[in-house]
């Protein structure tokens, strides 16, 4: 019996000790939660009684070189309901049906949904939002918001780009400079009781939004509008698939205009062009059509440049010293390279001619000879040194890379065809930049639109800078190339771009797309002025024109009209006459 009493006593002590340990543990936990973690759990408790709604920041504007606003904002509203705060659900439902033009079934479903906050509709016109406020219905929230708005609608659509429903950039400058334009959203904080009903005595607190900065660009509204109209005109006249015109400053890379027609509507960017057949297409296939509609031909697509590339072959030949202006050549209408007969565009031949005359005549055999004189190693080296193997660095997304043979795969036939712009592909912007570097004294510039970042008070926030690579070619070669290309326009194949009183330099081109059997042509002309001191360089590319397709016949006159209007506009005076 004594043994049992001792056992029970020990058992009691153990139970008591366990209870003491548990109480100490609970006390320690309470101390940890109520003292050491008090701030954390106070914040958590406050969070349970706070509702948060965004105040959208106004996106920065995109402004042309003369102060014309190309991308702006319109005040709109976001309409939401808070289930726990609604006192008159039938009235709220009727109001939503009437003002937002949604079905009664949809409105009722949203009103009855138990959630912290239910967003009904975004991008609601401000007038509609103001009317909804006047109903003064509990549980209905009308928050200010902004919708991107493009005053010029289809002007430079692929350059400016557009934003999505979240007001973030999707393509073009809108996405490239998103971090500058987007701003910082604000907050509206409201306090609620345990049932989720707002406590009127406390009211709302606000953290105001910070607007984005404005992007000032080199584009000129008047130039862009004009070249876009010219592109539309030639596309209609020649029943072409598409037309691109690019105009830039070859000395610093600033782009005055970049038209890619047909353009699309920036205020309705997801709607495909009228007449697009979407019958039986999946959503993925329809999105592919949109992606094609949004492509910027000048930077996203490559093509065989054809004879405009002879500018680069000539510069390499002069720089390497394998050709001079007075070198003589013979053109019987073709050149035989290995087992291939490669024709000149003039099948009967040009006969005897100097290098200068060969350039004026755009004679393929002359440039084949120059390419063969250079040889594969030198040709490839100049191709690389001129910058053709790297992207231009333009401040637009999606720039395509050059499609070029590997050096070890270049034979004599490939070298011959490359010398006059075939069997490889580059982008129009790459051609424009490379020629700019050849005619501006040898400096490879970076093409760009972005110039400055400012706020609404015009305070300068940042000046955007771009890389320049010097000594691409010598001053002497650059001067000779300007002379040659002026002769091409004044006396040669580019005569349809000639303007009395101005010295215009330039080069025509007519190339084919693959496969050759499809007989689809690309007509183009690249020109600059004044020839002795270039201030403007332009390129016109016409895809699949019907009927006459020679670049000198249909593309050169387009650039002539552009220069006739743009040169006086830029205060570039006539040099003679």
Catalytic residues: 307
Contact 91, 137 (CB under 8 A): yes
**Is the CB of residue 427 less than 8 Å from the CB of residue 539?**
no
Task: Give the DSSP H/E element, type plus range, for residue 75.
Answer: strand 69-81
- At residue 269, φ and ψ (nearest 5 deg) are -75, -10
Q: Which residue has the tokens 């009781």?
A: 193
Q: Any idea what DSSP says for residue 35?
A: I
| Alpha-carbon span 426 to 439, nearest angstrom | 19
Task: Label each residue of 350-419 as H, E or C.
Answer: CEEEEHHHHHHHCCHHHHHHHHHHHHHHHHHHHHHHCCCCCCCCCCCCCCCCCECCCHHHCCHHHHHHHC
Question: What is residue 505's three-state secondary structure?
Answer: strand
Number of Cβ within 10 Å of residue 565's Cβ equals: 15
Q: Which residue from 399, 401, 386 is spatially nearest to 447, judged by alpha carbons?
A: 399
Closest to 162 in 3D by CA, of 181, 149, 179, 146:
149
Return the bridge partners of 450, or none.
Answer: 217
Q: Which of 274, 247, 248, 305 is nearest to 431 (CA)?
A: 305
User: How far is the C-alpha of 410 from the C-alpha of 418, rounded, in Å?
Assistant: 10
Q: Is the CB of residue 420 less than 8 Å from the CB of residue 493?
A: no
DSSP class of residue 243?
E
CB-side neighbour CA atoms (13 Å) of 440: 24
What residue spans of 475-531 are helical by DSSP H? 475-491
> β-strands 62-63, 214-217: how paired?
parallel
Q: Which of 362, 357, 364, 313 is nearest to 342 (CA)?
A: 364
543 with 522: CB under 8 angstroms? yes
Tokens (6 digits) for 453 = 């970042």
Would you list the DSSP string of 109-155? HHHH--SS-EEEEEEEEHHHHHHHHHH--TTEEEEEEEEEE-TTTTT
């Amino acid at each position: 019996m004594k043994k049992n009493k001792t056992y029970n006593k020990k058992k009691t002590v153990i139970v008591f000790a366990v209870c003491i340990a548990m109480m100490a543990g609970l006390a320690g936990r309470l101390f940890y939660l109520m003292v050491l973690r008090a701030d954390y759990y106070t914040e958590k408790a406050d969070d349970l009684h706070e509702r948060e709604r965004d105040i959208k920041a106004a996106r920065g504007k995109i402004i042309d070189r003369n102060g014309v606003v190309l991308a702006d904002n319109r005040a709109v509203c976001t309409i939401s309901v808070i289930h726990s705060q609604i006192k008159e659900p039938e009235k709220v439902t009727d109001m939503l049906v009437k003002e937002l033009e949604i079905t009664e079934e949809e409105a009722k479903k949203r009103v009855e949904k138990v959630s912290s906050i239910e967003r009904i509709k975004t991008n609601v016109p401000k007038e509609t939002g103001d009317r909804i406020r006047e109903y003064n219905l509990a549980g209905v929230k009308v928050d200010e918001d902004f919708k991107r708005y493009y005053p010029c609608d289809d002007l430079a659509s692929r350059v400016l780009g557009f934003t999505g429903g979240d007001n973030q950039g999707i393509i073009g400058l809108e996405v490239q400079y998103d971090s500058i334009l987007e701003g910082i959203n604000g907050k509206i904080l409201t306090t609620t009781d345990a049932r989720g009903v707002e406590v009127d005595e406390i009211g709302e607190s606000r953290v105001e939004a910070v607007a984005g900065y404005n992007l000032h660009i080199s584009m000129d509204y008047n130039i862009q509008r004009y070249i876009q109209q010219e592109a539309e005109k030639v596309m209609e006249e020649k029943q072409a698939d598409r037309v691109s015109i690019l105009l830039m400053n070859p000395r610093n890379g600033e782009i005055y205009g970049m038209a890619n027609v047909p353009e699309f509507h920036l205020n309705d960017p997801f709607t495909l062009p009228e007449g697009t057949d979407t019958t039986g297409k999946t959503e993925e296939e329809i999105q592919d059509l949109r992606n094609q509609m949004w492509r910027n031909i000048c930077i996203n697509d490559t093509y065989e440049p054809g004879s405009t590339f002879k500018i680069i072959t000539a510069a390499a030949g002069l720089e390497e010293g394998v050709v001079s202006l007075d070198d003589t050549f013979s053109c019987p209408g073709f050149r035989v390279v290995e087992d291939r007969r490669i024709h000149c565009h003039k099948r009967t031949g040009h006969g005897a001619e100097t290098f200068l005359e060969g350039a004026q005549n755009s004679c393929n055999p002359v440039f084949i000879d120059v390419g063969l004189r250079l040889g594969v190693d030198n040709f490839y080296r100049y191709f690389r040194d001129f910058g053709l193997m790297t992207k231009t660095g333009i401040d637009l997304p999606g720039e395509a890379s050059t499609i070029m043979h590997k050096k070890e795969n270049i034979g004599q036939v490939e070298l011959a065809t490359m010398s006059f712009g075939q069997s490889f592909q580059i982008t129009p912007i790459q051609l424009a930049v490379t020629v700019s570097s050849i005619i501006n004294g040898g400096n490879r510039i970076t093409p760009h639109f972005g110039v400055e970042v400012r706020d609404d008070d015009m305070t300068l926030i940042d000046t955007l800078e771009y890389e320049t690579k010097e000594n691409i070619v010598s001053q002497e070669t650059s001067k000779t190339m300007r002379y040659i290309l002026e002769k091409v326009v004044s006396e040669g194949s580019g005569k349809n771009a000639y303007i009395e009183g101005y010295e215009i330099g330039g080069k025509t081109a007519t190339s084919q797309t693959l496969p050759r059997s499809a007989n689809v042509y690309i007509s183009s002309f690249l020109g600059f002025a004044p020839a002795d001191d270039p201030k403007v360089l332009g390129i016109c590319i016409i895809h699949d024109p019907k009927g006459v397709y020679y670049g000198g016949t249909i593309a050169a006159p387009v650039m002539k009209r552009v220069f006739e209007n743009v040169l006086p506009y830029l205060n570039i005076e006539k040099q003679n006459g």
